[in-house]
Amino acid sequence: MEPSDHLSDTEKKLRSLEQDLNDLRQGLTLVNDYYRDLEKISRHQDAVEAVDEIIAKPLVDDDIEFEGIWRFHEEALAADPGAAVPCQAMYEAFVQYCKTTGRSVVEQDAFEFVFARIEHPAPVLDSGAWTGYRLRTESR
């Protein structure tokens, strides 16, 4: 082998190695970009889950609670201006309604807070009793 042939082979090997190194660098850049995108997506997903836990879930829970109280109002009570139901009896009827219908029971304070804001007609709390409604199971 002549020295020029040897130099030519060496140059070819060097060029080939440089091309391989360049390909590896490009591959490494692609992998880095891919992991950066994954990290960004992961952080975004964590943020979405945090928003769901902190904001959306409590709103949905509140809607479910309100819906249960509203359904109780619609299905278990009859408007009667002359009627009065003691607070404890009203809450116990609500608890029984929830058990029967499979709805979530809320604490008595929450029930009374929401129930007091129902309209058409609005119940009135007077001397430990809700006036303006009677339980449908009660006779007049």
- To which H or E segment does residue 72 belong? helix 57-76
Measured CA angle at 102 (ends 99, 103), to 5 deg: 90
Q: What is the CATH number of the domain that holds 6?
A: 1.10.10.10
Q: In the structure encoding, which two tokens stand for residue 137, read together?
A: 């199971």
Task: List, edge to edge, every strand of the sheet that includes 77-86.
Answer: 77-86, 129-135, 124-126
Q: How many CB atoms lie within 10 A of CB 62?
A: 13
Tens-binned pLDDT, residue by residue, of the chain (140 aa): 566 666 688 888 888 888 988 888 898 888 888 888 877 777 777 766 766 666 655 544 555 577 888 889 889 999 998 899 999 999 999 999 999 988 888 889 988 888 888 887 888 888 899 999 999 875 44
Range of the domain at 10: 1-140
As for how many domains the chain has, the answer is 1
Collapsed DSSP state (helix, strand, coil) of residue 84: strand
Cis omega (within 30 of 0) on the bond before 3?
no
Q: What is the pTM of this model?
A: 0.55
- Token pair, residue 34, equals 């891919």
